[in-house]
Amino acid sequence: MDEEYDVIVLGTGLKECILSGLLSVDGLKVLHMDRNDYYGGESSSLNLTQLWKRFRGSDTPQENLGAIREYNVDMIPKFIMANGTLVQTLIHTDVTKYLNFKAVDGSFVYKKGKIYKVPATDVEALKSPLMGLFEKRRARKFFIYVQDYDEKDPKSHEGLDLSKVTAREIISKYGLEDDTIDFIGHALALHNDDGYLDQPAMDFVMRIKLYAESLARFQGGSPYIYPLYGLGELPQAFARLSAVYGGTYMLNKPECKVEFDSSGKAIGVTSAGETAKCKKVVCDPSYLSDKVKKVGKVNRAVCIMSHPIPDTNDAHSVQIILPQKQLGRKSDMYLFCCSYAHNVAPKGKYIAFVSAEAETDSPEEELKPGIELLGPIDEIFYHSYDTYVPTNKQEEDNCFISGTYDATTHFESTVSDVLEMYTKITGKTLDLSVDLSAASRSSPRPRSTASHSPSIHTERSSPRPSSYSSPPKTGRSTPRTAGYTPSPQTASHDSHSSENTSNDHGFFSRGRSSSSDDAYDFFRRRRRSSSDDEGMFSGFIDEIKDAIENYRTSKKDPVAAAAEVASTSGSIACVTQAKAFQDCLDENETDINKCQSLMDMWCKCKKSSKLTT
C-alpha cells in the first residue's frame, strides 16, 4: 500500500465508483478503498439477512418471505432515465456489457386522493382524466412549443428568452390550469417542489424534452429503465471498469484517515498503519465529516409485499409521484416499486419504497400518505439519513467530496454531481455525445466478441416464461476483480427500430428526429390506421360527452341531448363524422354552438348504426 497514486477514492458508492472508472480510463493511477467489506456503500443492495441485521438487529427473517439470497433491496432506490446522463455515461464507458436492464412498466401521479397513469400512448392520453378536453388542447400547444424548441434556432423561441423568462411566465402564456401545472412540473419535469416556477424556464423546458426523449427510447410504459439484480450492480460495474484500466481496490480497510501537509493539502490516506500517498482525494461525506454541512434529511420506508401496488394495472415496476400541493407539503413524496421480475426478490414478492425530504421527526406519520397507497404489507422498515454538501475549497485542500443522495427516484441529480466533480478534478468536461438512438437499436451480442458497439439491453418487466434461462447470479459480498469475466447477455431485447414500434408516446409522439414536425407531438394530426381510430375515437367520444355535459350544466344547451344519443352506441362506424366534429372543436375550442350541425350529423349516423346492428 505504500505507493503514490494520482487519486485515492474513499467509499464505493455509485458516485465514487463512476469517478474511479472515469479517472482510470483517463490514465490516472487510482487506489479505491472502502471501510466496508462489500461494494456500494450507501447505494448498495442488501439481501434479506443484511436487511434484517441493519434494521432489526440480530432478528432472523421470517421464513414466509422466501429465499434470503434472492433479495436485493436497494438502499438508495432510483430509476434511470432512458435518455439521461447516466445512460450516456454507461454507453460512453461501455459499462453496459456488465449489466442487463428492464424497461419500467409505468409512471403515475397522485391527484386528489387517487393515482393516475402518466400517459405513454396516444390512446392513453386521449382517455386520461388528468386534463379535460379543452385543457388538453391548450397543453398540446405548450408541448409543441417544448418539442420544437432549439437553443440554436431563434425561430423556435417564439420571442422568449428562456434564460430570462421564468417557468411561471411561459406557463401562463398558454393558460394552463393549476392541476396541469402540478402534473407537468412534478410528473414530467420531475421538480421536487414549486421553486422552479420562479426560476429561468430553460431548465424546466429541457427537463420536459428529456422526459419525452426517454419515453420514446424503449418500448415501455414509462421513460425509465432499471438494472436486473438491483442498483447495487451499478457501482460494481464501474468498479470493474476501473480495475480493467489499472485501478486498485481494497475493501474492509479500517479508519481510512486522510493525511494533510502543513499547507492543508491532502497528501495521502492512512489505514492499519500503512499510508498511501496521493495528489488528490475523492470521497463521500462520511470520510471527511469536518468538511461538509448538513442541509436536510430523508425519510424512507422499505416495504416487502406479496402484490403489486393497487390501481397500477398490476405493474411489476412503477414510480408514483405525490406532488407537494396534493399533500400540503414543502416538497414531493415518491413511491418506487420493483419486483421478482427484476431479480430483486423471490417469485411473487414486491419491494416498495416511500421516500420524502423530512419535514417532521416522525417518518411513520410523514410517509403515511404514500404507505396507504400500497395495500397490505408483509414487512416494513423505516430509516432516515442526513444529507450533506461539501463546504471545502477543492483547489486549496485537493479534497473532492460528493453530496448525499436525495429523495428523488431518478439519477439525474446524482450524475450531475459526478460530472461536476470530474470537471473539477481533471480540469476538463466529459464528452458524453453518444448516438443513443443507434445504441438502443444495437442487438445484444455475446461478450466474447472482440469488438462491439456499446448499447443498452432491455427487456420488458412482465414475468419471464418458464423456459427463460437467467444469467448466473454472483454473491453480493464477494469483491469482483479485473479478472472477472461477465457471462454472455441473455436478457431478451426489444426491437427499437422505428419501423416496428408505434410513433405515439403519450403526450409526445415519437418522430424520426427531434427536429421533425412529428417528433414528440401531442395529438398532432397524422395518418391513422383503423385500429388507431377505434382506440382514439372511443376515448374521444368519452371526452366529448364530458365536455358537453359540462357545457349543458352551465348553458342549458340542447347539444347535450345529442351527446346522450351518441353515447348509446360503442360502434366506430361514424368515424368520419366524429373526426369532422373533433376538427370543428379544435378550430372553435369553447364555442360548441358553431359545431351544432356536425354534431347532429354524427348523432344521426350513430342512430342509424345502432338500428342496423
**Domain harbouring 391, CATH code:** 3.50.50.60
Q: Sign of the C-alpha dihedral, residues 179, 182, 187, 188? A: positive
- In contact, 200 and 15? CB cutoff 8 Å: no
User: pTM of this prediction?
Assistant: 0.72
pLDDT band at 7, cuts 50/70/90?
A: very high
Predicted local distance difference test score (pLDDT) of residue 147 = 86
Predicted local distance difference test score (pLDDT) of residue 573 = 54
Domain edge (last residue) among 200, 219, 238: 219
Residue 557: φ, ψ to 5°: -90, 135
| Domain CATH number, residue 124 | 1.10.405.10
C-alpha 350/C-alpha 348 separation (Å) is 7
* Together in a domain, 80 and 190: no
> What is the CB neighbour count within 10 angstroms for residue 495?
11
The average pLDDT across 449-462 equals: 45
Is 596 inside a domain boundary? yes
Predicted local distance difference test score (pLDDT) of residue 591 = 56
DSSP string, 442-476: SPP--TTSS-------EE-SSPPPTT--PPPPPPS
Percent helix, percent strand, percent coil in the chain, to nearest 5? 40, 20, 45
Predicted local distance difference test score (pLDDT) of residue 488 = 29
Predicted local distance difference test score (pLDDT) of residue 221 = 83
Helix/strand/coil (H/E/C) assignment for every residue in 514-553: CCCCCCCCCCCCCCCCHHHHHHHHHHHHHHHHHHHHHHHH
Predicted local distance difference test score (pLDDT) of residue 186 = 92
Domain count, the chain: 3
Query: What DSSP designation does 409 have?
Result: S
| Residue span of the structural domain in which 336 resides | 4-103+226-426
Looking up cell 402540478, which residue turns up?
Answer: 182
Predicted local distance difference test score (pLDDT) of residue 499 = 37
Cell numbers for 339: 419486483
Least confident of 380-394, 404-418, 431-445, 531-545: 531-545
DSSP bridge partners of 352: 303, 337
Predicted local distance difference test score (pLDDT) of residue 126 = 73
Is 540 inside a domain boundary? no
**HSE-CB for 474 with a 13 A CA cutoff:** 18
CA distance to 154, 214, 399, per residue, from 454 (Å): 35, 18, 33
Is 534 inside a domain boundary? no
The average pLDDT across 501-518 equals: 41
* Together in a domain, 155 and 196: yes
Looking at every residue in the chain, the average pLDDT score rounds to: 78
Least confident of 89-98, 301-310, 395-404, 574-583: 574-583
* Together in a domain, 162 and 24: no
Predicted local distance difference test score (pLDDT) of residue 104 = 92
* Together in a domain, 403 and 260: yes
DSSP bridge partners of 384: 299
* Together in a domain, 31 and 91: yes
* Together in a domain, 255 and 215: no
Who has greater pLDDT, 610 or 126?
Answer: 126
Predicted local distance difference test score (pLDDT) of residue 217 = 83
pLDDT tops 90 at residue 495? no
Domain edge (last residue) among 407, 426, 445: 426
C-alpha 429/C-alpha 419 separation (Å) is 8
Is 143 inside a domain boundary? yes
C-alpha 268/C-alpha 280 separation (Å) is 8
Is 485 inside a domain boundary? no
pLDDT tops 70 at residue 479? no
pLDDT band at 273, cuts 50/70/90?
A: confident
Is 431 inside a domain boundary? no
C-alpha 55/C-alpha 382 separation (Å) is 8
Q: Sign of the C-alpha dihedral, residues 507, 513, 514, 517? A: negative
Task: Give SS3 for 598.
Answer: helix
The average pLDDT across 302-326 equals: 94
pLDDT digits (tens, 9 = 90+) for 546-600: 545 454 444 444 444 444 434 443 344 576 677 677 777 766 654 556 676 777 7
* Together in a domain, 37 and 157: no
Predicted local distance difference test score (pLDDT) of residue 286 = 93
pLDDT band at 121, cuts 50/70/90?
A: low
* Together in a domain, 51 and 123: no
Predicted local distance difference test score (pLDDT) of residue 257 = 93
Predicted local distance difference test score (pLDDT) of residue 232 = 92
pLDDT tops 90 at residue 298? yes
pLDDT tops 90 at residue 505? no
pLDDT tops 60 at residue 53? yes
* Percent above pLDDT 70 for the chain: 72
pLDDT digits (tens, 9 = 90+) for 238-261: 999 999 999 999 999 988 999 999
Count of helix runs (H) and strand runs (E) in the chain: 19, 22
The average pLDDT across 171-194 equals: 90
Question: What is the Cα Rg of the chain in Å?
Answer: 26
Cell numbers for 410: 431518478
* Percent above pLDDT 90 for the chain: 49
Is 526 inside a domain boundary? no
pLDDT tops 80 at residue 22? yes
Q: Sign of the C-alpha dihedral, residues 142, 148, 151, 154? A: negative
* Together in a domain, 294 and 214: no
Least confident of 214-223, 339-348, 361-370: 214-223
pLDDT tops 50 at residue 510? no
Domain edge (last residue) among 219, 254, 270: 219
Least confident of 75-89, 304-318, 586-600: 586-600
* Together in a domain, 373 and 244: yes
* Together in a domain, 212 and 235: no
Is 18 inside a domain boundary? yes
* Together in a domain, 246 and 374: yes
Predicted local distance difference test score (pLDDT) of residue 546 = 53
